[in-house]
Amino acid sequence: MSKIVVLDYGSSNLRSVAKALETVAEGNHKITVTDKPKVILNADKVVFPGQGAIGQCMQSLEEKELDNVIKQCILKKPFLGICLGLQSLMEYSDEDGGTEGLGILPGSVIRFTENAKDEKNNTYKIPSMGWNQVYQRKKHPLWNGIDDGTRFYFVHSYYVKMKNESDIAASTDYICRYTSAASRDNIFAIQFHPEKSQQPGLTLLKNFLGWDGTI
């Protein structure tokens, strides 16, 4: 039985992510929510979920000494980042007056443009909240059984802009076209919430549980 750790740094949606993982684990994987570095480092796979502000997230990671733990895990374990779990991997975020990220993937986090208008002259709402299409940019084991253009559930005011096209696994359109999934080697990170995305989200989580970290 493989050991799956959901990283606990104080985010509010950890339990819903853990429950969704338990649903698709079907008793074949042990799901643990923890902030203990030793347990995390001994896990087979790591999930880094989150919602809220990045400043508080990074502060909590540093206080719990989980920033270095994440960097160690990313060297060798299948790793799934969700929402802030994607944004925190970037080098820098505009949020909270400017916040340094973990710098694992080259890219930045930018706030959606205020008062932008759609083709019907309606103002886009911020945060982007609801279902939107995810366009796959490259093949990946986590997309197995998920059609290109499938809709997933989003809640965010900031978006990721990658420096390297090769790191973009999917894009989504809202005010602008932005990176909604990033991947490199054993890292896969997404802006949307699979735990809130019904069957497509559960399919992605199940794919992660079966993924060995190779492409």
Distance from C-alpha of 55 to C-alpha of 100, rounded to nearest angstrom: 9
Place of tokens 């799901």: 31
Backbone angles phi, psi at 178, to 5 degrees: -135, 170
Q: CB neighbours of 185 closer than 8 A, spacing ≥ 6?
A: 213, 215
Tokens in use for 97? Answer: 């007056």
Instruction: List the Cα angle 130/104/17 in 5-degree steps.
Output: 40
Active-site residue, 65 included: no
Note if 83 is an active site residue. Answer: yes
Distance (Å) of CA 159 to CA 33, 52, 79, 125, 171: 26, 13, 20, 14, 11
Which one is catalytic: 57, 73, 83, 95? 83
From the list 57, 73, 156, 195, the catalytic residue is: 195
Q: Catalytic annotation on 193?
A: yes
Residue 189: strand pairing partners: 81, 182
What gap in Å lies between CA 70 and CA 63, rounded to an integer? 13
Residues annotated as catalytic are: 83, 193, 195
